[in-house]
Amino acid sequence: MSRDRIPAIILDRVAASTTSIFPGILLPTSKFLCKAKLFSEPHSLLSGHIPVVDLFAGPGGLGEGFSSVKGDPFRIIVSAEMNSAARATLRLRAFYRLLKRQQGDVLDSYYKFCSGESTVPYDSTNRHLWDEAGEEARQLELGTPQGNSELDLRINPHKLGPDAPWVLIGGPPCQAYSIVGRARNRGKIEYKAEDDNRHFLYKEYLRIIQKYRPAVFVMENVKGILTASVGGKKIFETILDDLSDPDKAIGQCEGGLGYRIHSVSCATSFSRGDDPRQIDVHDFVIKAEEHGIPQARHRVILIGVREDINHRPGKLELKPGPSVGTILEGMPLLRSTLSKEADSSERWAEVVANHFASMAREVEGMEEYRELCKELREAATGIRRGLGSGALRLSKQHRDGNTLSLLQGWYHDSRLSVWLNHDARGHMTSDLQRYAYAAAYTKVYRRSPKGHAEFALNGLRPNHDNWESGKFSDRFRVQAEHRVATTVTSHISKDGHYFIHYDPCQCRSLTVREAARLQTFPDNYFFQGNRTEQFHQVGNAVPPLLAKQIGELVSTLLGFNAEIAIGDLMPKTLSLPV
C-alpha cells in the first residue's frame, strides 16, 4: 500500500506514535495500535463512514451537500432543527437517502408520495427506515436544557471523540448578525445586543466542539457577522477566539486540543493565540457565484481543523455560476393568481394585457422609451390565456424541458412525474403592473429598474411615504435571465417583490421550486409545510451544490475518497515506504 493512499490523519498519528528500527520502516507503538483500530474497525454505529452532526440544520442544505459527495463517505447521525416544518423536510430527505442506499424498488413509496398517489412516503416494507429517519432528523431547540440533553443522548451511542474522524456542520441563526436584522433592531428603543441570546447561539455549536472534539467542523453564517458588535467588541473576533480554543472559551482548564480555522478561498487561517485584528476577516467570505452556483450569495464559511491533524483543506475550485435563465429553462409556464378579487385565468390575462397596453400608450412617441414601448406592445399581445398557476404537485407534461444535462444531471430525476413546490403566489393588480413593467424593462435594458426615477410611469409608485428617499431603490427587482440571481433570502417568504420572474408574459414572482433551483436543491427535494414555510426554508439554506464542494474538501482532508474503503485504510503490516 503506497504512502499516498493512507489517510492524512493516520499518517499524522503514525509520525507521532512510531519508532524507527530499520531505515525506511516505521513500526507502531502499542499505544498507536490501540488508536489505529478506530480507523480499521467500526468507529461508530455507522460502519465504514464518517459520522456527521448537523446543528441548526434548517431544511438540510449543508447535510445534502455532504451526503452527495462521491463515494458516499459521510453519514448524518443527527440533524437538529427547532422549526417543525423544516424538521419535516429534513426527515423526508433523510428517508429518501436511506431508501436510495437500498437495492430494488424500495423508492417506489417515496415517488408515490411525491406524485400524490399515497398520503405517506413509506409502506410496510420500509416503515423501519421511516422510523430511522425520524431518529436522525430531530426537532430540538438548542440552548435549552431539554434540547441540549436530547442532542447529547443522540450523539453518545456513536462514541464520538478525538480518536475517531467525525465532522460537525451547521450555521447558527443569523438574524441578529444580518445587516437588515441589525437595522431593524436599531429601531427598537429598548433593544440591547448584549441581551439578545441569538448573538450567542454559536456557543451551542462550541459546546459540542469542546465536548466531542470533531476532527473538522464547518460553520456558515451571513457576511454581516463580520461587522456585528456586542458590548463594543466585534462578535466575529470573539467567535474566532472561542472556536480556536474551546476549553478556554467555556472556562475549562486549558491544555486540550484547539483548532486551526481556515478559509477555503485563500491561504488565510487563524490559530489560537493569534490576534484576529491582524488578519483580513473578509478572507473567510465565499462568493457562491464564483464556484458554480447560480446566485450571488456571499457567506462566511469557517473550516476548523483539529490541531493534531497537520493538514489544511484545499481551496474551492473557481468556476462561474450559470445564469438564472439556464437554471429555470424548461420549467412550465405559470401565471400568478389575483389576490383580493375574483381569480381566473381569463381575468388574470385581461388584467396583465391591459397593464402592458396602457404603459405602451403612455411611452409611445418618447424616443428614450422606443425599445421599451415595442416590448410592452409585444407583451400585451403575447399574454397566454389558459395558463395554470401551478400546484404543490404539478404534473409534468411532454413539453416540459428535460434538464438531464443541466449541471451534469444534478437537478433532474427521471422517476419524478411531477414538479414539486411549483405553485405561484397571488398578487394584487397594482403589483402586477409593477412586475409587468419591471420584467419588460429588464428584458430591454438587461438590468432591473431601480428607484423612483425608473418607475416613473403612472400607477407604478407604491404607497410608501419614503419611496423617493432611495431606501427602496430595489423594492421591485427582477431576477435577470442572463445573470446569476441575487441572494435568495428568507424575505422571499414575505413577498415576491425582490424575486420577480424575468418572463414578462408570466408576470409573477418566483415559485418555491424556482427559488430552490437557484439554491441548487435537486428537483426531488420535497419541502414540507405551507408555502410561506417552504419559502423560508429555501431562503435560509446553504446551497447543497456548494456544500458538496466543501464536503469534498473535508473528505480529502480526512483521507477518504471513493476508491478507498474504510476497512482498507490500515495495512495488515505497517511497513510504509518513505
Q: Is the pLDDT of residue 60 over 70?
A: yes
Is-contact 90 59, C-beta < 8 A?
Answer: yes
Closest CA to 450 of 484, 486, 425, 426: 486
Q: Does residue 255 carry a pLDDT above 90?
A: no
- pLDDT tens digits for 134-165? 999 999 999 899 999 999 999 999 999 998 89
Query: What pLDDT does 58 receive?
Result: 95
156 phi, psi to nearest 5 deg: -55, -40
Nearest Cα to Cα of residue 565 among 14, 40, 35: 40
What was the pLDDT predicted at 569? 34
Question: CA 297 to CA 295: how far, in whole Å?
Answer: 6
Task: Indicate if the pLDDT at residue 319 is higher than 80.
Answer: yes
Within 101-200, residue ranges assigned H as helices are: 108-115, 127-136, 145-155, 179-186
Percent of the chain with pLDDT over 90: 69
DSSP SS3 for 342: coil
| 106-119: average pLDDT | 96
The rounded distance, in Å, linking the Cα atoms of 189 and 388 is 47
Distance CA 291, CA 542 (A): 13
Give the pairing type, strands 137-139 and 74-81.
parallel
Query: What sign does the dihedral 17-20-23-27 (CA atoms) show?
Result: negative
* Residue 91 grid cell: 426527515
pLDDT the model gives residue 456: 87
Task: Output the average pLDDT for the chain.
Answer: 85
Name the pairing type of β-strands 426-427 and 167-170: unpaired
Per-residue pLDDT of 20-55, as tens digits, reads 333 333 334 433 433 343 333 333 445 689 999 999
Average pLDDT, stretch 251-264? 88
Given pLDDT bands bounded at 50, 70 and 90, which one contains residue 256?
A: confident
Residue 336 has pLDDT above 90, yes or no: yes
- Report strand pairing: 50-55 vs 167-170: parallel
- What's the farthest any 2 CA atoms get from each other in the chain? 93
Q: How large is the average pLDDT for residues 292-314?
A: 96
Q: What integer is the mean pLDDT of 412-439?
A: 95
Q: Would you state the pLDDT for residue 5? A: 44
The more confidently predicted of residues 180 and 528 is 528
For residues 497-521, average pLDDT: 97
The three three-digit cell numbers of residue 16, written as one number: 507521532
| Sign of the dihedral through C-alpha 558, 561, 565, 569 | negative
> To the nearest whole percent, how much of the chain has pLDDT over 70?
80
Give the per-residue pLDDT at 141.
Answer: 94
- Please tell me the least confidently modeled range out of 178-187, 212-221, 239-248, 509-518: 178-187
* Element at 399 (helix H, strand E): none
Q: What 3-state DSSP class applies to 319?
A: strand
Outline where DSSP puts E strands in 172-330: 216-222, 229-230, 233-234, 259-262, 269-270, 285-287, 298-306
For cell 418572463, name the residue: 503
Question: Using one digit for the tens of pLDDT, what is the confidence trace for 165-212?
Answer: 999 999 888 554 444 443 454 444 553 444 445 456 888 999 999 999
Count Cβ atoms below 10 Å from residue 59 Cβ, excluding itself.
Answer: 33
173 vs 429, which has greater pLDDT? Answer: 429
Count Cβ atoms below 10 Å from residue 511 Cβ, excluding itself.
29
Confidence label for 406 from pLDDT (cuts 50, 70 and 90): low
Residue with cell 400607477: 459
In contact, 559 and 10? CB cutoff 8 Å: yes
Q: What are the backbone dihedrals phi and psi of residue 73, each rounded to the nearest 5 degrees, phi first?
A: -75, -20
Closest Cα partner for 358 from 375, 381, 377, 385? 377
How many C-beta neighbours within 10 Å does residue 207 have? 19
Reply yes or no on whether the pLDDT at 562 is more than 60: no
pLDDT per residue as tens digits for the range 377-390: 999 999 999 999 99
pLDDT band for 529, please (50, 70, 90 cuts). Answer: very high
Cβ-proximal residues to 83 (8 Å cutoff; 6+ apart), any chain: 58, 139, 533, 537
Scan for cell 473567510, then name that residue. 284
Residues 386-396 have a mean pLDDT of: 95
Return d(Cα 420, Cα 522) in angstroms, integer.
10
**pTM of the complete model beyond 0.75:** yes
How many C-beta atoms lie closer than 10 Å to residue 278's C-beta? 7
How would residue 276 be classed by pLDDT, with cut points 50, 70 and 90?
very high
In the predicted model, what is the mean pLDDT of residues 344-364?
96
Distance, C-alpha 458 to centroid of its chain: 40
9 vs 347: which has the higher pLDDT: 347
Does residue 562 or residue 254 have the better pLDDT?
254
Residue 176 φ/ψ region, left for φ over 0, alpha for ψ in the -120 to 50 degree band, beta for the rest: alpha
Instruction: Give me the residue label for grid cell 400585451.
Output: 380
Tell which phi-psi region holds residue 15, choosing left (phi > 0), alpha (psi between -120 and 50) or beta: alpha
Query: How large is the angle between the packed helices 531-540 and 84-100, nearest 10 degrees?
Result: 70
Q: What span, in angstroms and rounded, lies between the C-alpha atoms of 539 and 516?
A: 8
